[in-house]
Homo-oligomer: A and B are copies of this chain.
């Protein structure tokens, strides 16, 4: 059992590693297992050989219309003004679409062109030319013609055409079996009551989903604790039973990262360490001729390695055509710096503003899975490139349908829980419309609005001179633009402290006590402005406050810091304190409003937003949450 740390990872380029790795399986890929299945079960499967029609379709000459079958030679006398009478049995028979046209007959006259004299006689005005309205044998496909080639993924129309062509069974590539092994002593199954240090296992479920999306068969193991021999035994079992094995995590260089040693013992490590971010500590191995892939534990790293390596291998094993993701061009809302040593995958939100697509980078942390949930696309920063400038035109790989992006209301500015709830109500009202909220603080919102990067900016900014919220600051920064303020919600700011208020915080003064640690909000946020304003009023020195420099970007993050005990107190809204089950000492009432361009108010998706904030349903939900007032909600104030 090895216990030393493997500090030194290589830094192989993704493309080089993938190509080299696939080359290790050339023989296996030449001899992919095939199976014979019924055509009716073949949806989504890939043909292992071409299929040619056994029967023609149609297999006989058939009427193409509802009407009568005739011998065209017997109709040549008919003309306008000189109708010809045909007798049933002698001159014609009634046919429906699809009925066979036998040797005796060689044309069809449509029911619309008949003048029915009786049950037994019809009149026609025009002659029928030979083979008119007759579907010839093989109109669709002639026996011997190819229906689908080899390496073709069966769609519903292919399936029906194969059946039409008389094919009952087909040879397809077997579905690739993917063994997924979650490891880690600290990892627990969902539903477990969490002890301190426990992490709920979720990566393997994401891998299951991604495997199913490829049409492959996932086979997940129960979590294996960090024990070299146990993991080794499980890997051997998975390699025995599956085509591909995924080990998560233990692919890095920690004291309990065993994947590398195990793969080395059982087979060979082809690559360890990729020059991608997130996802660097991946391991690409080969055991008994099969791929064994070590995927790092951080969820975004896990996703990126699965998507860029495991998925590609699965697709190759199943002969699936790898579709290129749709790419759109977007303007970057802010500068982004990246290491030239790595190819980086940055998750971005997209929004369409004034005809331009704007991309706003989300949290780049490898541990922030929500950045993948929230993002609309991925900005790939190539290796050797140190980032992009603000307003630069960049390529974004779309993860959502483009029409969704066109229907997204982009909000940049102050954070409040209410934005999540509004988003949900919007989505309930019209599932095509989405609200995307970026939390940059109120000033960040005003700047974004000025640069045309958002449809609306939620703000709560107190003017120190007048004590008035929002209007003065908009007059200062956005004068000359056609901006309006839509009144939002009144809300209460105050101190969030642990349940029972163990430090006995009563007022602002307590923040400078030696035994009290504070957690702050970022500069430019309305909450920070409020704090600084009050400190000034009280004549307090910020340097006396322990933790003043520790900044969080949302109310919820402050609440989480207090809840977890890394700070004793933070400033935030009542709803955040309530949600996190904290005690709350009110400090001030404030106005949380929405700044937007006047012209945007006629934009249908903005109308949906305005409808929602004024809706009775929303008010009811916010009343239940508590801490909000609605006196002027929806009122428009000119600036």
A residues lining the B interface (CB < 8 Å): 5, 7, 39-40, 43, 50, 52, 55-61, 64, 66, 94, 96-100, 103, 106, 111-112, 130-131, 135-152, 155-161, 163-164, 166, 168, 184, 186, 190-191, 194, 196-203, 205-210, 212-213, 252-257, 297-299, 303, 319, 321, 323-324, 326, 365, 367-370, 372-373, 401-404, 417, 420-421, 423-424, 427-428, 431-432, 550, 552, 554, 556-557, 559-561, 563-566, 576, 579-580
Contacts and interface: CB of A to CB of B under 8 A. Distances in A.
**6 closest residue pairs by CB, A with B:** A156-B209, A144-B579, A138-B560, A96-B254, A146-B420, A142-B556
A557 B196 contact: no
B580 A142 contact: yes
Contact of A566 (B131, B143, B206): B131
A160 B326 CA distance: 24
B98 A560 contact: no
A427 to B, nearest CB: 4
Given A164-B200, A168-B190, A403-B324, A7 B156 contact: no
A70 to B, nearest CB: 15
Contacts of A139: 365, 367-368
B560 A140 contact: no
A interface, by DSSP: helix, strand, loop or mixed?
Answer: loop
Contacts of A552: 136
Given A164-B369, A324-B401, A146 B209 contact: no
Contacts of A421: 50, 146
Contacts of A157: 206, 303, 369, 372-373
A164 B202 contact: yes
Contact of A163 (B58, B202, B403): B202
A557 B372 CA distance: 53
A163 B223 CA distance: 15
A201 to B, nearest CB: 8
A539 to B, nearest CB: 27
Given A106-B566, A373-B157, A580-B144, A137 B561 contact: yes
A550 B139 CA distance: 14
Contact of A168 (B7, B98, B191, B580): B191
A254 B97 contact: yes
A57 B265 CA distance: 35
A213 B190 CA distance: 29
B369 A253 contact: no
Contact of A554 (B142, B206, B369): B142
Nearest to A156: B209
Contacts of A205: 39-40, 156, 159-160, 163
A212 B43 contact: yes
A209 B43 contact: yes
Contacts of A298: 97
A52 B432 CA distance: 21
Nearest to A299: B160
A23 to B, nearest CB: 16
A43 B401 CA distance: 18
A254 B98 CA distance: 10
Contacts of A145: 417, 420, 556
Contacts of A256: 96
Contacts of A557: 136, 138, 142
For A64, A324, A370, the residue with the greatest tally of chain B CB atoms inside 10 Å of its CB is: A370
A156 B402 contact: no
A209 B155 contact: yes
Given A40-B205, A66-B253, A164-B369, 16 more contacts: A5-B66, A55-B194, A56-B563, A59-B199, A96-B256, A96-B257, A97-B254, A98-B199, A100-B197, A137-B566, A138-B557, A144-B576, A146-B421, A159-B206, A161-B373, A326-B326
A472 to B, nearest CB: 31
A112 B7 contact: yes
A529 to B, nearest CB: 22
A253 B111 contact: yes
A455 to B, nearest CB: 18
Contacts of A550: 130-131
A155 B303 CA distance: 12
A198 B59 contact: yes
A412 to B, nearest CB: 18
Contacts of A420: 50, 52, 145-146
For A58, A100, A560, A563, the residue with the greatest tally of chain B CB atoms inside 10 Å of its CB is: A560
A167 to B, nearest CB: 9
B61 A566 contact: yes
Given A66-B253, A136-B561, A158-B373, A404 B149 contact: no
A301 to B, nearest CB: 10
Contacts of A190: 39-40, 163, 168
Contacts of A198: 59
Given A103-B565, A431-B319, A252 B66 contact: yes
